Every structure is written in structure tokens, then in C-alpha cells.
Chain A
Amino acid sequence: MAAIAHKRIADAAKNLAQSLSPGPGETACQPGASFGIPALDQHLNGGICTSALHEVRCSLARDFACAAGFALGLAAQFGKQGAKKFLWVIDPAASVDSGLPFPDGLNEHGIDPKRVIFVRPITLQDALWSADQAAKCCDLSAVVFQVKGNPKPFDMTATRRLMLRARESGVLVCVLRQSGAEEASAAATRWHVEIMPSRADADFEHGPGQARHAQTLERNRHGRTGQWTLVWNPESRAFEDGTSSLETTHRVHRIHASAHRPDRPVEMGQVVDLERAS
């Protein structure tokens, strides 16, 4: 009798534990892959979750290249091991004025251009469908979905679906939002990329050096946000901390362009840096 009661209690405890643990749709991410930058890893609870949806956005059209560089860096560093191909889905609106990845540039960025497959649908609906299908495919290393602005069909539900697909298939899905505003999404992290003056080049002091970007973690499942200066090292295919050699201290404020929606009212008292007359 006592044994049966004991078993019942054990079963009940097991059921309780099951009901309390998050369901399949909302499981916490597996322990993530480390950036190798302690300050950043601490914010992300040990590292970035590789089988999840992440968002990289830039405010201006001319920032697209650095946002793409960061997204590709994420894909290269944290993409699925052993898988070969990247899939890059392009929203038709995004390809109008942003140009295309240049194979030689990709190669210097540490990504073999032969591994990149581009999908260029005619409509946004098709683009969403393609991204959804790609996120299901477990043979891919990473999926980059390039989208312009904040189109309505790409809403919370769509991002949530992408997140679930990514979790099931173990593929890193990265939304690359070009000139878009902050928006509620189901992504595990959202990064805002801004340009920074480059590191001085040891070989040629007048030329542009190694690129540095200011990455703002705007959304984080683990709660804490922050800003870092990161440098992509294409040789080791990893991000490095760029703060140590920070040369310019001033941050440049810019007026952000808005796409597909009226601009937000400017906050009272915001300071806009104007070019100095002298």
C-alpha cells in the first residue's frame, strides 16, 4: 500500500515538473555558443543561441553593408557545424537600391561565395514562404532573410513561426532588416548596427583599416541589453572586442530614416549634431 502511494506521489511530482517546464514552443534556448567576449557572453547567459531567430537591423540604407557584415559574421561563426550552404532570401523591396553581396567581398569577409544560395522571389509573401521553408531545412548552415523596413505581413506571428522552425531544425535564422524601426518580434536577440571609424591600418596609415561597428543589443531574451564595439576577424571567423583600441570617443547622432511608416515623433530635447560651420 505504501509502495503504491509512494509511486503515485512520484508520478504526481513528475507530472508537475512536466507542466511547469516550458512547452515545446517556449523552451528556453539551449546553452548558447560563446562570442569569446566576456562582457557580451555574460549578457547573453553564456552565449548566443544558435538554433534560434536573431534580428540585425540598421537605420539607414547606407548602413546596410555593415549590418550585412554583422549578419554574415553571425552566420559564419554560429551557423550549423558541418552544414555547407547559406541561404539568403531577399525581399523584392530590399533589392531595389541596396545592391547585392559581391563574391570577392564575401570571400575576404571569410565566407566562401560558392556556399551562398540566393532566393529572390517576386513578392514579399513568396519571400516569407521561402524563409519559412528554408528555416525548416536541417541541411543548411544558416538562413539570412533580408527585408526592407517593417512590412506588415512580416509581423509577430511570422517571426514566431520562424523562431519555432529554427528551434526544430537547429538552423540559425537571421533577419537582416534594412532601414527599419524597432518592432516587437519573437527573435531571441535584436541587434542594431551602426558604423564606426575604422581601426588604423598598420601597413598604410592613410587608408581605411579594419572595420569596427557599434552593436547595440536592443532585445535580449535574457533581459539585459547593452552596447559593444565589435570587430569581425575573417581569418579566425570570430568577433573580437574592438573597444580596447577605441580612438574616437564621440558618438555621432543621426536622424533615422523610416520606411513604410510615418516617422516617430522626435523626442523633445533630442540633440542632433550638425556639421560645424568652420
Chain B
Amino acid sequence: MKWGKSWILNARPDAPPIAVADTENNAVRIVAHEAHAAHAGIFNGQSLSDARALVPDLECHSRDRAAERKLLGSLAAWCERYTPLVALDGDDSLLMDVTGCTHLFGGEASFIADIETRLAAQGFTVRACLADTAGAAWAMARYGTERIIARDQHENAISPLPLAALRLDAALVKSLGRVGFKTIGCIAEVPRAPLTARFGAELLDRLDQASGRQDEIISPLMPVAELASEKRFADPIVHEDDIKRCIGLLAGNIIALLERRDLGVRTCELKLFRVDGEVQSLSVHASNPLRDAERIAALFHERLARLHTDLDAGFGFDIVRLNILQADPFNGGQHDLVERRDAGDGYDALIDRLGARLGRDRVLQFSFTDTHIPERRFALVPVCGRDGKTDPEQIVLPGPARTPTRPLVLLERPEPIDAIAQVPDSPPSRFRWRKVLYEIARSEGPERIACEWWRDGRASLSRDYFRVEDTQGYRFWLFRYGLYDRETARPDWYMHGLFS
């Protein structure tokens, strides 16, 4: 919204009320409106033309579901300050598993109050409810009046609620209503078998989920960290140095936990919760399990150095959390105590630091495929991309050769050249590449590399490779694309590589 998040709090006295409309069953209806628009007679479900008749200057926007989802997603990320288990639920609600978290906020009442005040400060109208089961909390948040349902009281609490509170289809609720079932309590009292026979399994599944007889699995939005350490600040921190110091502190906290479990960090994530609801997350990877607070902090320093101006601190961060997303068994003493190491850093530290600063996809090594097509033979893959396995696949390469058969440098893609050659299969006598004419003095070939018909199709062409040397001594790897007269009438020539 263009007035920012606080427009609800600071009302716009002179401006017309705002509403959001959407097309439902070929009619444009109001789906949301500003609170004070209700005084003018606007309500949800009203058709837009009626609303316009009541308030001619109504400011109406069409519904943007993608933006709503995005907003809910960012809200879910923000809610990770309360618990790591946050899941999206439908279009307008979030489910949080807060088992064991409420005491950190001084009990359930202040926990709920904290959520409500903070979200209200961001401009949201919230109904929060805490119950033993996700189903009961869902029902009470929408249809109930209480906000905190005491332990084992949820069945009693939801029994007077209407059946729609069970997350059922509108059609099912209607047909249940026709036979006299109005509340959840009614359903709970009658025998189960006839209900299932008549209304299907969903009804009792939902009832069991709400009452806790059946487990309901919520799938959290973010992966749950194996270990986490966080620091909360009464005054938000803004400066990069403060953040760095905080990272060092958190990493130090986590090391003790890692030692107890005999683990080392592989993937580690830093979450910075901004006061105004934004959450920034940075992650770093180590090529080998790491259990050194300084090195973990150093990786984040590189990551921050790369972000530099992109990290928008806004009004500051009030929570900094370090999540260990992946940890592997720590393989003990890597360094020899007796043998003194040279000054400087180790290989692993270098690769991790380069990866943290430049991105993991910028530090590469060869991986091989068993094919003869030169450009498919290899790929550059991240060094620490594969878990635990850092060595490329084993493929047997022939040894060194005094007169090489393969070029030292391969062009990214074959470049077309203008070549003059005798038909059908002689090497070119001269050719033009990148606007320069080369006279060929020596040549060897052809070496035929057939196409991979199982991949490229039957119509694809063979390549005849030639090693040629021009009068100055440049050595090139050229190929004729297609066999003369058998595959194509006018084969093209390509430059593919340069010999040293």
C-alpha cells in the first residue's frame, strides 16, 4: 500500500475510504474495506455498484492474490521470532507450533499479547488464539471469544461453535444444517458410524483433528534448524560492527552445543529480524565440518562485506539468530600439533571464504561425463556443492602427450569460420576466423566424432575434427559439421579450440 503500513493507525481524515474488490460468481464484490468505511454502510460481500452508490468517491482496488501471499509469507518469516515452526494456513492465517516457547515471553497471556501488539503496530488487525490443537485454535480464532484455551479444555470450548469452525466445505455445512446439526457439540454426541456413512470421512477427520484424537501435521515454511542461538536487543542494533560482534557471540554460544553433540557446522544461517517486520537471512557453507567460532564469524563477515550497502538495516534489528541448518560429524584433529604449519590459511578456509564472498557457484571445479562430444564432456560445478563428496567422479584420462590431440583451451561454443577446403573430406587450406585469414601449413585429421543420436535425434550431424597449424605456428582445432554429400550438401566449418 502506498501509504505504508501505518495508514490504518493514522487515519486519512480527508481521503475517501478504501476497499478491495474481487470478482465472485461474475459479480464484483467488496472483499475487504477500511474499518471506518463500515459507518458509511459498506460491508464485505456487498456488490461494488451498491458500495459506489453509497459512497461515490470510494477508492477501490482489485484484489492481488500474489501480493497477499507474499505479505503472508513475510509475516510468517517475521513470526519465526516466536517459534521456528510457522506454517501458512490458507489465504489469511498462520499456524504456529509454540510448544515450549511461551515461557520465554513470560507465559501464554503475555505471549499472545506480544504478538497482537507487535502486529497491530505494523498495521495488521489480528486475532490470535492459543489452544491444544491446531484445529481448535483455528476455530476459536475465527468463531470464539476466548483467546487462550486452558489445557484439555479445548473440546468444551469449541463445542458451542458453529460447524463452519471445523474447516469444512460450505456445501457440507449446509447439508449438515439441513438435518439439524448446527454446532460442533451436536456432532460430537451422535454415533460416528452413521455420520461417516452419510457425510463422508472428512467430517469426523476434522472433528478428531480439532479434539486431538487425530494428529495434524503442520509443515513449517522454513527448515527447522538443528541448533539455534539468538540474541534479543531492547534497543535495536544498526551498525555493521555491532552485528559482527553479535555474530561472534552467537557462534561462541553454539560451539559448546556442537562439542557436546560431536558435530561440525556445514550450513549455517543468520537471521536478522528488523523492527518493522522485515527479516533478512544470510547463509554460509563450509566445505568441511567446522567447529571454530572465529571461522564461522569470518564467513559471515565476508558475506556481509559482499552485501555491504544492500543490507538495509532500516530502524535496526532487534533479534539476531544463528541457525545451524546442517551439521555433520566432526572429524577431530585436522591439524598436526607437532608439525608447525606455514604462515597463511588452509585450503578449506580459502574455499569457504571465496564461496561466502563471491557465491558458491563462483568457485568451481571440473566434473566429467562419459561422452565424446567435447563441450559435453565436462561441466564446471561448485566445489562444495555436493554433500561430503568433494572429489569429481572417477574417469580415466590418458596420460600426458608430447603432441597433444586435444586443445588446451576450448571456446565456450564453436565459432563459425569461412574455410576453403577440398571436398569431400580434406582439411581446409585456408580459413578466416574473427576477421583474420590463416594459411594452413600442416594439418592432421579427420578425427570423426559422431553425434549422439539418442540425445540429439537422428537428423543431427557428425563432426570431423582437424588439428591444423598455420604458417605462423598457431595450432587450432577445427571441425567440419556434417559429412559431405551423406549428411549435408554444404558442410559448415567451426573453430572449437586452441592448442598451446
Contact = CB atoms under 8 A, between A and B. Distances in A.
Interface of A: 61-62, 64-66, 68-70, 72, 85, 87, 98-110, 113-114, 116-122, 126, 129-130, 133-134, 136-140, 168-170, 195-198, 201, 203-204, 206-213, 232-235, 237, 252
Contacts of A212: 473
A107 B500 CA distance: 13
Contacts of B366: 103, 113-114, 116
B412 A119 contact: no
A81 to B, nearest CB: 12
- Among A136, A169, A197, find the residue whose CB has the most chain B CB atoms closer than 10 A: A197
A102 B365 contact: no
Contact of B408 (A69, A136, A137): A69
A120 B362 contact: yes
A206 B442 contact: yes
Given A136-B344, A195-B472, A207 B443 contact: yes
B233 interface: no
A71 B438 CA distance: 25
A225 B269 CA distance: 54
Given A101-B408, A137-B350, A206-B444, 10 more contacts: A65-B409, A87-B350, A99-B411, A109-B408, A114-B391, A117-B383, A133-B353, A139-B347, A197-B441, A208-B468
B167 interface: no
B231 interface: no
- Among B347, B349, B368, B391, find the residue whose CB has the most chain A CB atoms closer than 10 A: B347
A230 B383 CA distance: 34
Q: How large is the interface on B (under 10, 10 to 19, 20 to 34, 35 or more residues)?
A: 35 or more
A198 to B, nearest CB: 6
A208 B400 contact: no
A82 to B, nearest CB: 11
Contact of A102 (B347, B351, B383, B408): B408
21 contacts: A62-B436, A65-B475, A68-B500, A99-B498, A100-B380, A102-B407, A105-B497, A109-B500, A114-B392, A117-B383, A136-B344, A136-B345, A137-B346, A138-B344, A138-B345, A138-B346, A139-B346, A169-B344, A197-B471, A204-B444, A235-B402
Interface string B395-406: 001111111111
Contact of B472 (A133, A232, A235, A252): A252
Contact of A66 (B354, B398, B500): B500
Contacts of A118: 363-365, 380
A118 B382 CA distance: 9
A32 to B, nearest CB: 19
A181 B475 CA distance: 23
B414 to A, nearest CB: 10
Contact of A108 (B345, B346, B400, B441): B400
B341 interface: yes
Given A108-B400, A234-B400, A117 B410 contact: no
Given A65-B408, A129-B357, A197 B347 contact: no
Nearest to A69: B500
B310 interface: no
- Among B358, B377, B400, find the residue whose CB has the most chain A CB atoms closer than 10 A: B400
Given A103-B377, A114-B392, A129-B357, A168 B344 contact: yes
Nearest to A233: B402
Contacts of A252: 472
Contacts of B398: 107-108
- Among B346, B365, B408, find the residue whose CB has the most chain A CB atoms closer than 10 A: B408
Nearest to A248: B473
- Among A104, A170, A206, find the residue whose CB has the most chain B CB atoms closer than 10 A: A104
B406 A105 contact: yes
A108 B405 contact: yes
B410 A198 contact: no
Contacts of B365: 114, 116-118
A90 B371 CA distance: 27
Contact of B354 (A99, A130, A201, A204): A130
Nearest to A139: B347
Nearest to A113: B366
B339 interface: no
Contacts of A129: 357
B315 interface: no
Contacts of B404: 105, 108-109, 211, 234
Interface string B461-500: 0000001110111110000000000000000000001111
A235 B350 contact: no
B469 A197 contact: yes
For the complex of A and B, list the 3 residue pairs with the smallest distance between their C-beta atoms, beginning with the closest.
A69-B500, A207-B444, A234-B400
Interface in B335-391: 341-347, 349-351, 353-354, 357-358, 362-366, 368, 374, 377-378, 380, 383, 391
Contacts of A105: 404, 406-410, 497, 499-500
Given A139-B347, A198-B475, A208-B475, A102 B410 contact: yes
A59 B378 CA distance: 29
Contacts of A139: 345-347, 350
A37 B411 CA distance: 34
A95 to B, nearest CB: 8
Contacts of A117: 351, 363-365, 383
Given A119-B363, A137-B344, A198-B473, A68 B409 contact: yes
Contacts of B469: 197-198, 208
Contacts of A100: 380, 409-410, 412
A223 B345 CA distance: 33
B381 to A, nearest CB: 10
Interface in B94-151: none
